[in-house]
Amino acid sequence: MTHGYTPIDKIQIYASLRATFRSGLTKPIAWRQHQLLQLALRSTPIWASRCMMHEVVMGEITPVFDRALTCVSKIEEWSKDKSITDQVQDWQKGWTSRIMRRAKGVVLIIACYPMILSLQPLYGALLSSSSPKSHHITLRSSLTICRSYPDKDAFRVALGGVPEITKMLELKWDHIFYTGNGRVARIVATAAAKHLTPFTLELGGKSPVIVDTTADIQLAAKRTLAGKTTNCDQICVTPDFFLVERLVASKFVEACGALNMPSYGAYERLKGLLDRTKGIEPTVIADVEPGDSLLEGEIYGPFLPIVTVENVDGAIDYINDHDHPLVLYFLLQTTLRRRKNTTNGNVCINDTFIQLSISEMPFCGVQYYSYENFVYGRALCEIPYEEEPFDMLRYPSYTAESVAFFSQVMKTPILKSTNPAEVEVKN
């Protein structure tokens, strides 16, 4: 076994999970509510053993506890069938038409981020196989949470790296949820395509911070550094690099340097064995040029690279010339119409990281609500025998009357429209 990984020959979970799902054990709402309550109850004592108690309570224990309980109270409402009888055409009113919410089935969740929030898909799926690679304190706690569920037939955990994940991906799942980087995401997508398995990719990415001349520089630096150092920067939505207008660049660097607080996360340095007496302080790196290695992959470290731009338009151009950000942060006091000209997961204005506290928003950048991601809408239509007299025109032999009936929709008037682009050009 490498690094405590699950031996490949011991990853024998698929058949039993499939049998559990087919048995109907997981279908009752009361069963799912019980699992969610266990997730809330079992998270607190496990995570209480970690250092930086303030960050753990604020960023990890509280969200899991609160969201698990929210799901308990909402799941019955979310699971209800939705009648669409009042939306159909008049001649279909006598039918029973509805959309039923049904679980997709056996789900594989691959979580590579070292936070308990990587377990968020559990709220929606309640079937998990987690395979993160490093950060053993966090991972052991996450594994303990998953393995503490009473219904062992419905929840299985495998810990591993590329070989173990590859083994899991050889199987035909009903849905795959992957949280991690783009390199592994391509492997996941390729494996899913082999079985035509639907999948969700919740990918990390560079999350830039734009600071302009209207920003409250002191407060911008304070909020930025707080987001940057939370959980020692081991968060997919952490502020990654900064695009600062030239007129305030030196002032912003100075403001960041003044925030030397001992409570900020200690970045531990790895040298063979973990030496907890040494660390790397949060470091501002000014005048970083485009093309620098700090601007390539996600940093996940205590470095705050600052790229100087002439104006916000220059910052927007830089962002659009690179991969889409997971989150785009604006530090400013004016409302920018130009932020509409970017493509990214989320936008947060005048703060960083704190947007994760809004439980009602979709999971990070992919715009998926957890529950909606793991169910599908099964359409049901029931036509009573009594409706037969109203459906006679569909049968041969076809007549002018039947053609006229089915052609009625084409008599709907089409409103005159104007191309807005052409109007703008003329003006």
Q: Is the bond preceding residue 397 a cis peptide, omega within 30 degrees?
A: yes
- 19 to each of 15, 71, 152, 232, how far by Cα in Å? 6, 26, 12, 41
Which of helix, strand or coil describes residue 294? helix
Residue 129 and residue 171 in contact, taking contact as beta carbons nearer than 8 Å: no
Amino acid type, 404? A
In what helix (H) or strand (E) does residue 108 lie, and over which residues does it extend? strand 107-111
Please measure the distance between the N-terminal and C-terminal CA atoms of the chain and give it in whole angstroms. Answer: 70
The structure tokens listed for 166 are 């590859």
Verify whether residue 268 is a known catalytic residue: no
> Which of 55, 60, 164, 202 is the catalytic position?
202
Question: CB-based contacts of 232: which residues, under 8 Å, 6+ apart?
Answer: 265, 266, 267, 268, 302
Nearest Cα to 181, choosing from 296, 297, 293? 297
User: Tell me, what DSSP letter sits at residue 170?
Assistant: T
Residue 114 and residue 93 in contact, taking contact as beta carbons nearer than 8 Å: no
In what helix (H) or strand (E) does residue 100 lie, and over which residues does it extend? strand 96-103
One DSSP character per residue, 227-272 reads: HHHGGGG-STTS--EEEEEHHHHHHHHHHHHT---TTSPPEEEEES
In what helix (H) or strand (E) does residue 209 lie, and over which residues does it extend? strand 208-211
CA distance 235 to 239: 9
Amino acid type, 30? A
**Looking up tokens 């942060």, which residue turns up?**
329
Indicate which residues carry an active-site annotation: 202
